[in-house]
Each structure stands twice: as C-alpha cells, then as structure tokens.
Structure 1
Amino acid sequence: MKRIYVNEKWCLGCHLCEYYCAFANSGQDDMVKALKNVTIHPRIQIEQRGNISFAVSCRHCEEPLCVKSCISGALTRENGVISINPDKCVGCYTCILSCPYGAVMPSESGAIQKCELCTKNAGGEPACVKGCPNKAIVFEERQGAE
C-alpha cells in the first residue's frame, strides 16, 4: 500500500505541507479565501528538533492502536487507510493517547482529525506531497515498511 514517507534531510521546515493539507480539507476552491486570516488545523505537522525538520502524519499502521482503542467505532481501517467518521467520535481522545507517532489530534469541532491520504477530498496524490517544494514528502509503496 502507498503511504506518506518523509526524508528529513530534504525538509526545509517551510510548513507548506501544512497549508496544502489545511486547504485540501477546507472544502473550498480558493486557497487565499480558505486560509487568509485563519488559524489552520492541518492533519500533518512539522516538528523541529535542533536543525532537523520533519513532517508527522498518520502512518496507516497494519495493526493500528488508534482503531483498537476507539470506543465508539469512529476509526476504521479499510483498504489500508485509517479513516475517521466524525459523527461517531465522542471526543474521548483515547486514540490520541494510543497513537505512538502523535499523528491523531483534536479538530476544531471537538472530534479528532488525522491524515486520510486525501481520500475524501483531493484523490490521487495527497496535497502535502504535491505541495512540498523540495520533494521531502513522498507517496510511495515500500517493501517491508509499516
């Protein structure tokens, strides 16, 4: 299955992936109108440790602890993609606590949000991958990787 991978050697820490993610999930057609004067809530986050920058997003694990811990059934795994049904989320945040990668986060609505590989909005290649100017984020299939 294709997943998002990050090469931290190439990451500039520019945060463009966060903006492309927020726009892709905004439901709007104009990036300026969607994001101008708005606090964004992307499903991918840039972390910085010293002079190293890297993007953190859902890894769509084979054995997802977030799905196993979800008491309401809001998180499901289908065709390798872990998706959220926000209408089922009760906001207990057990999934946030159980994710070893820190890839699940609260949304503005009180439910949770996480990367769904742009399956519900952009289709094809995830928006963060398309928008990365240095190609530090890739969407590819790798042997033996989870």
Structure 2
Amino acid sequence: MKQILVRIDRCVGCKTCELACSITHSSSKDLFGAWLSGQQLVRRVQVETNPERSVNLPIQCRQCREPRCVSACMTGAMYLDERTGVVLNRQEKCVGCWMCVMVCPYGVIIPNEAQKVAVKCDQCVSEGHDPACVKACPTRAVKFVEISEFDKGVRRKFLSKFIAGEET
C-alpha cells in the first residue's frame, strides 16, 4: 500500500497541490472550466504556513489504520477500503452531521457547506492515478510512496529535529 509523504524541508508554500486537488475533484477537471462554471472548488489538502519559522506544511488525511471518522460516522458514509488502506467517503450517504470533522485528530476533514457533505483526501483513488497533489508539486515535497518507505524513519528523524528546533 502507498501513502502520501510530505518533505517539509522541500515545501515552498506555492499551494500548487491545493489547486491541483481542487481541479481534479471538480466536475470540469480543468481550471478554466471550473472557473467558467462558477463551481465552488473544494480542496482536500491545505498548506499551512508559519512565516516566523519559514515553514510550509501540506496537510491532508493521514489514512489512519483505526480511523475515528469511520467509527463516528452514523450512516456508514466514511469507510476504510481494506484493499487500498484509504479512508473514503460515500458522499451520497453523508448527511452532513460533521461528526467525522469533530473527531479527526488532524483536522483534515472539511465540511462542504454548499453540498452538506464532508470532504477529505481520497488519494485520487477514483481517478485511477497517483494523487494530483503529488503530480503537481514542483519541488517534489509531496510524494506517493510505499508504506515500507514511509516507515523507514527518515520522516520521523526529520520531524524530531524540526520539533526540537534544529531544522527549519
């Protein structure tokens, strides 16, 4: 199984990942078409910035192994796809109660007020290709790697140094 890995040392905060995600999940699948249609674009990844520390961090669903959003979902709209390991949302079953939004420890489930459904990163599973945010990132800060690569400890070591203030 693959997971999205973020190298915060490479992110420049350009938000290209946000735009690519929004366009990929739009009905038109292109920026000009989405703009012409007046459709509200909803991103599933967001780049948080901390100018004091010169840090940018793309944040999206971590695809938890025991997702709280799935447990909290009263309609079964949120579910864990056992084959891919991706937490998905059947929007036709979502009633907009926002329980998943409230219990997500990462704050990455977004309430789409216009459609009354919860929105989250689905790793572009339905698109049949690598995630749009990964393909669009000009600095390759966002990667799509096997979990074995993800768990090698490189990320953990970097974050430990970053939290301790040794990395910026």
Does the alignment pair 1:97 with 2:105?
A: no
Alignment-derived partner of residue 83 in structure 1 = 88
Q: Is the 8 A contact 2:68 2:103 kept in 1?
A: yes
Once structures 1 and 2 are overlaid, which stretch shifts more, 21-30 or 74-83? 21-30
The sequence identity of aligned pairs, in percent, is 37
CA RMSD in angstroms, aligned pairs only: 1.6
Q: Looking at both structures, which has the greater relative contact order when contacts are Cα pairs under 8 Å and sequence separation is at least 6?
A: 1
Q: Is the 8 A contact 1:21 1:128 kept in 2?
A: yes
Alignment-derived partner of residue 72 in structure 1 = 75
Q: Is the 8 A contact 1:23 1:35 kept in 2?
A: no
- Structure 1 stretches of at least 4 aligned residues deviating more than 6 Å after TM superposition: none
Superposed counterparts of 1:93-132, under 5 Å = 93-107=98-112, 108-121=114-127, 123-132=128-137
Q: Is the 8 A contact 1:82 1:116 kept in 2?
A: yes
Larger Rg: 2
TM-score when scaled to structure 1? 0.91
Aligned residues: 144
Does the alignment pair 1:45 with 2:65?
A: no
Runs of at least 5 residues in structure 1 that lack an aligned partner in the other structure:
none
Q: Per-residue deviation at 1:40?
A: 3.0
Alignment-derived partner of residue 142 in structure 1 = 147
Distance in 1 between the 2:140 and 2:41 partners? 22
TM-score when scaled to structure 2? 0.80
Runs of at least 5 residues in structure 2 that lack an aligned partner in the other structure:
152-168
Distance in 2 between the 1:29 and 1:58 partners? 22
